[in-house]
Amino acid sequence: ANLMEAYYEMAEAFLKEIETQGYTAMIYGSEDYILDDIIPDKLLQRYDVMLNDSSSMPEYPYLYKMWKYNNNLSVPGIEGVTGYIISFVDYSGR
């Protein structure tokens, strides 16, 4: 198997283990990372995506369920910087 196929197998094993533990497995990353380093036709069909993109309107060509849209915020009570994340799905019941 080539390197990308090995990467896919490791990523899927990790994501399956997260599900086995009772959590919702999700792929997180920027558009470039997801499209260049993930095998979209395999992992993106099965797992939700949390997109990290600070543009006003992402151009990501696939469906994403969560969006981290600001990565450099200062919030009182939190040390360092943080970001805003919006979820288009209610994961509390999953």
CA distances from 93 to 15, 45, 49, 90 (A): 19, 21, 18, 7
- Please report where in the chains the tokens 């009570």 appear, as a residue: 77
For the whole model, what pTM was predicted? 0.81
Closest CA to 67 of 56, 52, 83, 45: 52
- The tens-digit pLDDT sequence of the chain (94 residues) is 587 788 888 889 999 999 999 999 999 999 998 888 776 667 888 899 999 998 889 999 989 999 999 888 888 888 888 888 999 999 987 6
Give the contacts of 94 (CB within 8 A, at least 6 positions apart): 24
